[in-house]
Amino acid sequence: MKAAFLDRDGVINRNAPRGRYIKSWDELEVLPGVADAIRLLNGANFRVIVVTNQRGVSLGLMTVEDLEEIHRRLLERLNGAGARIDAVYYCPHGEGQCDCRKPATGMFRRALDDFPEISMRDSIVIGDSWRDMEAAGVLGCSRILVQDATEPSCAGEPRMDVDGVAASLLEAVRQFAVGEA
Active site residues: 7, 9
Q: Which segments of the chain are extended strands (E)?
A: 3-6, 47-53, 87-91, 124-127, 142-146, 164-166
2: closest CA among 180, 181, 179, 178? 178
Cβ atoms of residues 102 and 54 within 8 Å: no
Three-state SS for 50?
Answer: strand
User: How would DSSP label each residue in 130-179?
Assistant: HHHHHHHHHHT-EEEEE--TTS-TTTTSPP---SEEESSHHHHIIIIIS-
Three-state SS for 46?
Answer: coil
From residue 131, alpha-carbon distances to 7, 103, 135, 147, 174 in Å are 10, 4, 6, 14, 23
